[in-house]
Chain A
Amino acid sequence: MYTFLLPDLGEGIAEGEILKWHVEPGQEVGEDAPLLDVETDKAAVTIPSPRAGKVAEMGGKVGDVVNVGEMIAVIDDGRAAEATQAAEAVATPGESAAEDADTRAATAPQRPGPAPQAEPVAATDGKRRPRPAAPATRRLARELGVDINAVEGSGPAGRVTPEDVHRFAAEGPFAPTAEADADTHAPAKTVDDDQSFAEFAAHAASTIPFLELEPLPDFAADGPVEIEPLRSIRRKVARKMVTSMALVPHVAHMDDADVTALEEFRLSQRAERGDDPGIGKLTLMSFVIKAVTAGLRAAPSFNASLDPFKEEIVYKKYYNIGFAADTGRGLVVPVIQGTDRKSIREISAEIAEKAGLAREGTLPAEDMRGGTFTITNVGPLGGTAMLPTINYPEVAILGMGKVQEKPVVRDGEIVIRKILPLTLAFDHRIADGADAARFVGELIRQLSDPNLLLLET
């Protein structure tokens, strides 16, 4: 018997939702054969079976959320019971601490199974020892749902003081010296009893004047409701959007591009090439990505990031353009790497491939990271203007509206042209309205004449 625990999926992922089982109870499974698909905050992953054997037990049904380190399957490999792989079963400190705090509030506190007394977590100071902290400070950290080993200690030998814990609880992992992945440290802030809500609200209110945080009313008292836990992609989107809106002063610049000539070219090419998989669907997005890449080379401010802690602007010399994809399960942003080195044909093919994987929920995590600029196209669903939220820590996002035939005036004549409404939302800390106007102007020029795009391919 081999008990398989949900392995560490990397990038601070603490849990996954079971999307699909590739096996049934009692079924034989080969080593490394797909066992199940799990969707995390970041991506869907297929987890292979670590052993060959018969599936004796399944750790959940489709839709269940399984924590890293929890049993996901028991595989009868014909051998005696075996201690499960401790090394792979790494729970995320921040998450489990928060869960402890939650369960303690209940009358019969219980965590899922007794994890054996854990080895000290390697703290970020590189020492193989727990963070020095007095017992009372450690208790304070537990009460505030803070993983003490994630806190930078301000005392001698890195000793964590009560003030350090309070600061961490209030400011979270964005403390100036925190180095490691923020997600690992962010305690899942769910506040479900009055006292901790009061504490949470007090912390938040102390940093933002006039901010008033109150528990939501009991909606069920006014009529029937359905409650769904905020999980997976939805929760990740919520975190990213709040972070972006809270940190970045958004400004939007809007204009229209005349894409009559481009559309004529594009639609004729598409009709001619049919379903050639080597060129994808040749959507407008592929042309816009190319035009944006050209625009970014001329306006590096929009291909940058601002580090508020180091007070630095990081200009990226590479162009990884993300495109927002509506997957049915939520928003996913696949990234096309190195768009300055790819042709429109290659970009188009890659869009088709990645959008497909994203819809299936099987897009690998590495295809969603490293973006430097994002484009969102709600056009196919309609819409003349939108205010997109920047995909932090990028500094700009381009929204595409619906291409429509509109009467416009050219040389004193009213003519019918195909018009693409564009909105650039950008980080006003890095760029100003004039920069945005120039950037969008260049974009419009590129999109108005397919011959200009030739120069970029």
Chain B
Amino acid sequence: MVMGSLRQETQVAVIGSGPGGYVAALRLADLGKEVCLVEERPRFGGTCLLEGCIPSKTLIHAVEVKESALAAAAFGLGCTGTSIDLDRLREHTGQVVGGLSSGIGSLLKRRGVTTLEGRARFSSSRSLELEGGEVSGVDFEQCIIATGSSLNRLPEGISDKVWSSADALTLPSVPESLLVVGGGYIGLELGLVYQGLGSSVSVVEFFPRLLMGADQDLVDIMVTSVNSRLDEVMLESKVQTIDEKPGGGFAVTIAHEGETITREYAQVLVAIGRRPNTDDLGLENTAVVVDERGIVATNELCQTDEPGIYAIGDVTRGPMLAHKASREAKVAAEVICGHAAEFDNRAIPAVVYTDPEIAWTGLTEREAADEGIEITVGRFPLTALGRARTLDRTDGMVKIIADPDDGLILGMGIVGPHASELIAEGTLAIEMGATIEDLTATIHPHPTLSEAVQEAAEVAQGAAVHVHPPRRP
């Protein structure tokens, strides 16, 4: 056999093994398709598992345990100091990632999915060329593009010693001082990790507020909590230059409040967004349409303009979130198999693992105001909740956004411990078309944080009485 001439034939090819690609491959296999999954990297899991959600949440948890232990002193459990073994923490994170990655491998194997290593490029609307693996090409009937996204490259001329978020997750060191460029969720999460590990952390954000997508009232509560942990938060500020200093560290000039200031930091972390991986995919050999931002045009069946080629996850419109990719993966797989699936989801929850966490789903207050949608809002602060008191974590709130006429739940926002878990109830409520009454009449276990959801619903119900006369069926 001549190397480079081995071709694989399959019913469905999936490019990428992230939370989009591997889920699509598994679902297709379960529905009886012959599936071939192509992954460029030596390990399965994509950005989310290898250099995103999973390693970052592992680190965040570690820091949280440390912070909780220190906080315990307040109620009499003397915890005099904590030590940090960076090598062990790195090793632990690697074990978490490695375990999950091989878990995906065995799921794929057990279902008989053919996995190929290599970089895929479309050579036609029915074939892929592979580079860097044993098999040189794949001929398919249908293909799902799940190639995900990459970090935006740093501007020219900036030292490669500046960290990207992927660099920061490998824990190269704990710098004495760290400037985080970008006040979005990645920057804030990683900034707090390094603060917990011992760095003095500052954040610079171009926009006038942190976490642009979230409602201000949620962000405010989080900011109040983390303010004491951050050295400086500079809003409406723009980094102009980042210069490496001869003795190590960086001199950074920042346009801030009308003047240019220079600050020195031991390390700089740039977290300024991601771009779909569609540049070198050979899409010009297909009818797939890609816009100037690299986003593949798809419909709600995840179909592209090329019959038989589907796209899911970060390469498509919408938030770059693993759970959105996984849902689209199932839609695409089912559509390929002739099912009546459609990405008709009404809410894609967003979660930020700051401390306290922030999560929201469905309509935000800001969107309602922008679009002129009439809403009623029920807010419930955690200060009034038993379970929050027992946890000594009252820095939080649940708010429910509903239609003032009929109580249909349109959105939910949460800030506080375990907001990431609590938001699931709101998303389910929205998808099911639940009303405020459905939430108030559901028994929530006591004492739990979930009671705050029920309480917020009761507040919304009460508010509705004052704002609009109730219309009960």
Contact = CB atoms under 8 A, between A and B. Distances in A.
A79 B289 CA distance: 20
B342 A142 contact: yes
Contact of A108 (B142, B301, B304, B343): B142
Given A109-B336, A142-B342, A157 B300 contact: no
Contact of A104 (B317, B339, B410): B339
B343 A135 contact: no
Contacts of B438: 156
Contact of B335 (A109, A115, A116, A160): A109
Interface in A283-327: none
Contacts of B304: 114
Given A100-B301, A116-B299, A128-B373, A135 B473 contact: no
A108 B141 contact: yes
B338 A113 contact: no
A268 to B, nearest CB: 67
Interface string B254-282: 00000000000000000000000000000
Nearest to A136: B432
A101 B303 CA distance: 15
A158 B305 CA distance: 35
Interface in B358-405: 371, 373, 403
A157 B435 CA distance: 7
Contact of A157 (B299, B303, B308, B408): B408
Contact of B344 (A105, A113, A135, A160): A135
Interface string B311-327: 00000011000000000
A156 B435 contact: yes
Contacts of B473: 156
A107 B297 CA distance: 22
B174 to A, nearest CB: 43
Contacts of A127: 403
Given A109-B301, A109-B336, A128-B373, A156 B437 contact: yes
Interface string B429-450: 0011101011000000000000
Contacts of A101: 340
A104 B299 CA distance: 14
A134 B407 contact: no
Contacts of B342: 100, 138-139, 142
Interface string B399-424: 00001001110100000000000000
B300 to A, nearest CB: 5
A131 B431 CA distance: 11
A100 B331 CA distance: 14
B338 A104 contact: yes
A110 interface: yes
B20 to A, nearest CB: 16
A134 B433 CA distance: 6
A61 interface: no
A20 interface: no
Contacts of B301: 100, 109, 111, 114
A159 interface: yes
Nearest to A141: B340
A28 interface: no
B142 A116 contact: no
B346 interface: yes
Contacts of B70: none
B252 interface: no
Nearest to B373: A128
Given A117-B300, A127-B403, A109 B346 contact: no
A139 B433 contact: no
A110 to B, nearest CB: 4
Contacts of B300: 115, 117-118
A143 interface: yes
Nearest to B335: A109
B340 to A, nearest CB: 4
Nearest to B433: A132
Interface in A112-131: 113-118, 127-131
Contacts of A129: 373, 403, 408, 410
Interface residues of A, number: 36
A106 B473 CA distance: 44
Given A109-B338, A129-B410, A114 B307 contact: no
B431 A158 contact: no
A115 B299 contact: yes
A169 to B, nearest CB: 13
A133 interface: yes
A277 interface: no
Interface residues of B, number: 40
A155 interface: yes
A347 B332 CA distance: 60
A113 B336 CA distance: 16
Nearest to A131: B433
Interface centre among B301, B317, B473, by most A CB within 10 Å? B301
Nearest to A83: B291
B298 interface: yes
Interface in B113-149: 141-142
A110 B344 contact: no
A138 B142 contact: no
A158 B406 contact: yes
A132 B432 CA distance: 7
A114 B338 contact: no
A191 to B, nearest CB: 15
Given A155-B433, A156-B437, A139 B346 contact: no
Nearest to A144: B340
A417 B184 CA distance: 94
A117 B141 CA distance: 24
A142 B438 CA distance: 26
A45 to B, nearest CB: 28
Interface string B446-463: 000000000000000000
B407 A117 contact: no
B336 to A, nearest CB: 7
Contact of B308 (A108, A116, A118, A132): A108
A138 B373 contact: no
A117 B299 contact: yes
Contacts of A108: 141-142, 307-308
A131 B430 CA distance: 11
Given A156-B407, A158-B406, A114 B340 contact: no
B341 interface: yes
A118 B317 CA distance: 12
Contacts of A105: 338
A138 B406 CA distance: 20
B249 to A, nearest CB: 46
A114 B406 contact: no
A122 to B, nearest CB: 12
A104 B297 contact: no
Contact of B433 (A109, A116, A128, A133): A133
Contacts of B344: 135, 138
A434 B299 CA distance: 60
A114 B298 contact: yes
A159 B403 CA distance: 13
B297 A134 contact: no
Nearest to A106: B338
A139 B330 CA distance: 13
Contacts of A139: 340-342
Contacts of A116: 297, 299, 317
A117 B338 contact: no
Which 8 pairs across A and B sit closest by C-beta, in order of nearness?
Answer: A132-B433, A114-B299, A157-B406, A157-B408, A142-B340, A110-B307, A159-B433, A143-B340
29 contacts: A100-B301, A100-B340, A104-B335, A104-B338, A107-B141, A108-B142, A109-B335, A109-B336, A109-B338, A113-B299, A114-B289, A114-B304, A115-B299, A115-B300, A116-B299, A117-B298, A127-B403, A128-B373, A129-B410, A135-B344, A135-B431, A138-B344, A139-B340, A142-B340, A142-B341, A143-B340, A156-B435, A157-B407, A157-B433
Given A113-B305, A114-B289, 8 more contacts: A100-B301, A106-B338, A114-B298, A117-B317, A131-B433, A133-B433, A134-B431, A134-B432
